[in-house]
Amino acid sequence: MKIATQVGVLWAAVLVATMPMLVKGQIFVANYNDGGIYNDNASGAGSLFATNLPVQGPMGMAFDTAGNLYVANYANGVVEKYNSLGSGSGFITGLTSPVGLAFNTNGNLFVANSTEGFGNIEEFSSGGGSTPIMTFSNAAMNDPYGIVFHNGDLYVANAGSGVIEQFNSLGVGSLFTDMHSSADTNASPWGLAFDNNGNLWVADSATNQIDEYNSSGILVTQIANTNLNQPSGLAFDSTGNLYVANFNTNTIVKFVGGVGAVFATNGVPGVFGGDISAVATLVPEPSIQALLAIGAMLALVSSRLARCRHFRRAGS
């Protein structure tokens, strides 16, 4: 599946010392079409945070411990670094269709390069550059999108195969779950997020559902909601509320106690036109000093979606 939340995705929890301008309840949204990075407050009202010119297709996002925002630009193979004031500069170059971003506890940045039929994960030091510390892949990797760390392991959503893999610190992967078997034969996972109970939540862009898996990779919950329309990115706030970015409707849906309602339209009302690459990074209470970062991924064009569906059918 070759498509551009973000997503996901991917969110990762990192410690934050001081974060000027980043406050409780903010959601960061990457707009693939106009190249802008926006943030919404706790009420869903948003404003422009940063912009990439010319437009380069921003997708996945992650924060470091100093509060700098990193954005994967799918179109030009660059990861940009923005300070808390929204001023950006190139951090990593020479990538191939970068989508998901996530930091490990050592401060190294991991990038999911998405390519139809395969792909890879690259690890970069805190200095960035164009040469990764490590590159890993395997036969099961197929359009990696959302990536997220949990207890030292990296979880990777393969949008093209429906497989979620778990990699250890040496880059050795194993099957966490095959969503085609556990959830739906048409499943296409994009965004990933862990809740406070250690369960993994997955945005299934193909079936318009959100799936919850326990630590053993067993499906425990499926959420279907009329407001879900090609969900991409996922993020939890500090009270356990779940935020979901929708590609087809350009909306962010907030789930409270399992009940979902539209939280923001187009991330920033009235700003976006057409498709968005969305969601989101939630900044919890400063007292917790934890930053929940997610990068979510959205489709580039409908023809890409048609091609990936054809690919899945041909391979089934």
First to last CA, the chain: 14
H/E run at residue 235: strand 231-236
Average pLDDT (255-266) is 84
| Long-range contacts, stretch 51-54, CB < 8 angstroms, 24+ apart | 52/80, 52/88
Q: Is 120:158 a contact under the CB 8 Å cutoff? A: no
Q: Which of 178, 175, 152 is nearest to 165 (CA)?
A: 175
Average pLDDT (21-26) is 56
pLDDT at residue 18 is higher than 60: no
CA–CA dist 303, 126 (Å, integer): 37
pTM exceeds 0.85, yes or no: no
Homologous superfamily of the 6-315 domain (CATH)? YVTN repeat-like/Quinoprotein amine dehydrogenase (2.130.10.10)
Top-confidence residue, 92 or 252: 92
Collapse the DSSP code of 260 into the 3-class scheme (helix H, G, I; strand E, B; otherwise coil) and give the result.
strand
Q: Is 298:5 a contact under the CB 8 Å cutoff? A: yes
- For residue 213, what pLDDT is reported? 98
Domain positions in the chain = 6-315
pLDDT at residue 117 is higher than 50: yes
- For residue 187, what pLDDT is reported? 95
Q: Which of 143, 298, 180 is nearest to 232 (CA)?
A: 298
CA–CA dist 20, 63 (Å, integer): 13
- For residue 39, what pLDDT is reported? 76
- For residue 24, what pLDDT is reported? 52
CA–CA dist 9, 192 (Å, integer): 6
pLDDT at residue 234 is higher than 90: no
Which of 16-25, 55-64, 178-187 shows the highest mean pLDDT?
178-187
| Token pair 């510390």: residue | 133
Per-residue confidence band for 55, with pLDDT thresholds at 50, 70 and 90? low
Top-confidence residue, 39 or 141: 141
Per-residue pLDDT tens over the stretch 126-166: 999 999 999 999 988 999 999 999 999 999 999 999 999 99
- For residue 52, what pLDDT is reported? 64
CB atoms closer than 10 angstroms to residue 142: 23
Top-confidence residue, 267 or 286: 267
CA–CA dist 269, 119 (Å, integer): 34
CA-to-CA separations, 266 to 12, 75, 145, 215, 272, in angstroms, rounded? 23, 21, 21, 33, 6
Average pLDDT (291-301) is 32
Per-residue confidence band for 123, with pLDDT thresholds at 50, 70 and 90? very high
